[in-house]
Structures are given as C-alpha cells and as structure tokens.
Chains A and B, each alone.
Chain A
Amino acid sequence: MMMRCIALACAAASALLACRTGAGSEQPDASAPTPIEAGIDDGGTPLGNADARQGPLQVDRAGHPLVSVLLVPPALQDQFNALSSFAPNVPRVLQEGLASRLASFDTIRLGDGGADQVDWTVDGGTHPLLSVFVNDVLLVDTALPCTSPDGGFVSSYLEIDREIFLGGSTHATCGGRTPNENIVDETLALLITADRDGGPAITQGISGPTKWSTTSFPYLAEPNEGDP
C-alpha cells in the first residue's frame, strides 16, 4: 500500500512537471525517446499500445477551437478527447459538463461590472449552444469561397453552425475555419452575449497572431526564429 501511494505521488508529480514543461520554459531533449516512442505518457501510464488487440489509442481530437479548454471541465478532458469525433452518443457527464460551463459564461461578470444578462434560454433543459459544441466538428461548404475579392481570408467561423443550429441567415462563405480570424473574441461574444445588439464588447485584447497566414500554400506562416 505504501509503495503504491508513493508511486501514485511520483506519477502525479511527474505529470505536473510535464504540464509545466509544456509551457515552454524548457525545451525537450531531442535525443531522448518521446513519451509516445517510449510507449508511456509522462505520468508513467501506458499509452494503451501495449496490447495490439486494443487498437489505436486516441490521444486528442479537435474541431471547434476552445471547446476542450473553455467548455470541458479539466477532469473530463481526457474522456472528451478520447471520444470519436462522430460518436453517435456523447456521454451524459460530458454533456452536463459542457452545459454547466455554457450557463456560467452566459451570466459571467464583466470586468469590474456586474453579471451580464441572461441571453440564452435553456429550452427543454438544453442550452441552445450545446448542439453546436457537443458535436465538435467544423462544417465547411466546399462550393463557396473563403476569400474576399481583394484576396484575403474572410471571417467564416461558425457561419454554417449559426444557420443550422441557431436559425441564422443563409451562409455566404465556406464556413469551416480560416486562419487569422479572431475566433476567441467571437466565441466569447457568442457565449456571453449571444451577439445581442447593443451588447458589451467582449475581447481578449489581442488583435492577431505573431505572423499572419497567407493565401498561398501552405497558408500557415513561416516559423519564428529563436525561443518565444
């Protein structure tokens, strides 16, 4: 029992160190095997590939940005990430976790002011945005462009989602997600104010990335030099 507790403590400490290293304060040793190559994660937990009969282990998934970091409670993130992107049934605990976060954002306090008004009506017990984010996929219309006549990317994120799930107007762009779009501000405004007319401006205060993506392949900007 004692040894088991010590091992658990070491695993927790190791996982904690992994989180801190991930913040960029240290660079990994390029010559050392990566956790994946070693078959374990940094907490010493088998990655699930020890038994080939179990099949691949899904480590992460992503569709809409910010879902897993803003809307999924930390204790459920591994479970959320391990779920198939097209899982027919999302476990109730995940749905409840997302719904709770959605409700919190709706009436969050704004800076030094009071709580924002209720903008989202929970219809029949279901937050209207739950359908948008619980199916964590990007919807892209392959028949429409996502560039403007002057050649730059247009803002298109959630356009099809708004049409399908929120009764928005017919989409006029490809939807999906283009680089450079300030999806953080857009997401915060949607969650907190439902984009209501005259509502408070919600912004994280960052106007763009370090380098802007371009409309030429491979689109994402060339790397930065040196350490951040």
Chain B
Amino acid sequence: MCLGVPGQILDVVESPLRLGRVAFGPTVKEVSLACVPDAMPGAWVVVHAGLALEQLDEAEAKYMLECLELLEPGWAEEGP
C-alpha cells in the first residue's frame, strides 16, 4: 500500500494548492504537487494516494514502471 507509481507531469496549476495532471501510461489523473514545489511539466514524480512524494529522473521512472508491471500487471497504467 505504500508503493508509489511514477507518472509524468502534464501541467501545473500553482494556486491555491499546486495541483497538476499526471499521466500514468494512458491514464491521466489530477495529483497534488504540494510536496514537490520544484517539479514542472515534463518532470517525473512518484505518486502515492493522490500526492506526489518525490521527483525522479526519467530513466529511474521507466525502470520502476517496468518493475511494477512485473509485480502487478496493470498497476503502472492505472496509476495510484
């Protein structure tokens, strides 16, 4: 349950909450970016329970996605 799923930020609305749309494969969700104040569109973030926990680089994100897909097929595409 503490697993995070990597997704790529599509856009950011700064006020008042720092929300953004994040793409998890074909699925797009609105996510709180309140805890990653520097993350901009295009950046990869690990999302858990609707909140981005940290930024990570693209290669790491792709590696993590591959592992998630092996662990639980479908998870990575559905998003957290």
A and B associate = no
